[in-house]
């Protein structure tokens, strides 16, 4: 949680209470609950078809749940609440003949700003995404990465208090991914709550305080990133120093600097000292979120994978 986060006694900016959504006989979300508070960056993870996009569409009131409840800023969704939300959908749809400055200004006006103020903010965001020199180009003339930066800027128009983004790093090179991360962190420091759905898990570890992993519409695991990684640790340790640590009797096996011990670390340490080995650092070897993700969603050996995943795409008729 950042310094900009609201007091915990205030209602969450986004809350899902046991939300369920079905498409015919298929359950896309099964009694999912989460809370998102000001200043927090929350990671929404899961394989394709897990229900992530459905959850985001419900969170911005594009879809209505079949059961459960959505609260925005402590209340049921309404026009005033939706005006304080920024949304970047996975399915992009920029008007190719529009010009970035005019389109962003128009979005600001839709969110209630006067045209002159919306134009000032649009120019500022174009500078932030390093496209102020292309403000009058047609969007269709821009590269895929630059179009993605325009869409990130569009989601930030109106200074939303709640920002929901689906695969925001798609099409961005490493430099522009770093720029997007910086923009999201700035929004968080200013008190905005962010819900980010992405398959790029290294960015989740960098950005997010908490995560929810969906699989076939169900919550497979949730919690603070550090706590989730610690819960899934295998007891191995990362050891750095000088000497042949792998030959010690207390070491069961080794994977580079990562050692799997037969017994406690105190036994390993005593044996290393007796052998005259130099130990400069050690720490528990925590799995990455990618490792946890793969283990959590992979079927057990020999299990059938013929069960279809939850459908992450709502019927178009429901989206209007």
Q: Which CATH class is domain 14-84+160-230?
A: alpha beta
Contact, 15 vs 204, CB < 8 A?
Answer: no
The CA R_g of the chain, rounded to the nearest whole Å, is: 23
Q: What is the pLDDT of residue 254?
A: 86
Q: What is the pLDDT of residue 214?
A: 96
Provide the residue ranges of all domains of the chain, joining segments of one domain with +. Answer: 14-84+160-230, 234-285
DSSP 80-136: HHHTTEEEE-SS----TTS-HHHHHHHHHHHTT--HHHHHHHHHHHHHHTT-GGGTT
> d(Cα 311, Cα 17) in Å, to the nearest integer?
20
Nearest partner of 90 among 134, 128, 44, 135, judged by Cα: 44
> d(Cα 44, Cα 56) in Å, to the nearest integer?
9
Contact, 27 vs 211, CB < 8 A?
Answer: no
> d(Cα 282, Cα 294) in Å, to the nearest integer?
26
Nearest partner of 83 among 49, 130, 33, 118, judged by Cα: 118
307: CB partners within 8 A, 6+ apart: 216
Considering only 170-174, 247-251, 265-269, 299-303, which range has the smallest mean pLDDT? 299-303
Q: What is the pLDDT of residue 299?
A: 74
* pTM of model > 0.75: yes
Digit-coded pLDDT (tens) for 228-283: 999 998 888 888 888 888 888 899 888 888 888 887 888 888 888 899 998 888 88
Q: What is the pLDDT of residue 148?
A: 95
Digit-coded pLDDT (tens) for 98-136: 999 999 999 999 999 999 999 999 999 999 999 999 988
Is residue 40's pLDDT more than 80?
yes
């Amino acid at each position: 949680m950042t310094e900009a986060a609201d007091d915990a006694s205030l209602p969450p900016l986004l809350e899902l209470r046991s939300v369920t959504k079905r498409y015919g006989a298929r359950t896309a979300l099964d009694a999912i609950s989460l809370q998102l508070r000001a200043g927090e960056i929350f990671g929404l993870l899961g394989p394709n078809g897990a229900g992530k996009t459905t959850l985001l569409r419900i969170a911005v009131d594009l879809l209505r749940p079949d059961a459960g409840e959505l609260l925005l800023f402590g209340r049921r969704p309404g026009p005033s609440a939706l005006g304080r939300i920024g949304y970047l959908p996975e399915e992009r749809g920029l008007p190719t003949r529009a010009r970035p400055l005019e389109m962003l200004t128009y979005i600001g006006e839709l969110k209630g700003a006067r045209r002159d103020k919306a134009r000032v903010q649009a120019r500022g965001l174009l500078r932030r995404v390093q496209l102020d020199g292309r403000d009058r180009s047609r969007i269709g003339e821009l590269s895929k990465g630059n179009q993605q930066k325009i869409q990130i800027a569009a989601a930030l128009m109106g200074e939303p208090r709640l920002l929901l983004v689906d695969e925001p790093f798609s099409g961005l090179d490493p430099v522009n991914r770093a720029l997007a991360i910086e923009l999201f962190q700035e929004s968080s420091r200013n008190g905005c709550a962010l819900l980010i759905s992405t398959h790029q898990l290294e960015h989740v570890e960098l950005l997010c305080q908490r995560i929810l992993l969906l699989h076939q519409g169900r919550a497979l695991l949730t919690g603070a990133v550090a706590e989730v990684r610690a819960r899934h640790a295998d007891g191995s340790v990362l050891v750095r120093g000088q000497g042949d640590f792998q030959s010690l009797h207390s070491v069961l096996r080794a994977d580079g600097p990562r050692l799997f011990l037969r017994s406690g670390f105190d036994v390993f340490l005593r044996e290393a000292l007796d052998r005259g080995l130099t130990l400069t650092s050690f720490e528990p070897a925590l799995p990455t979120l990618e490792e946890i993700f793969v283990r959590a969603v992979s079927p057990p050996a020999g299990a059938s994978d013929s069960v279809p995943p939850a459908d992450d795409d709502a019927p178009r008729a429901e989206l209007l």
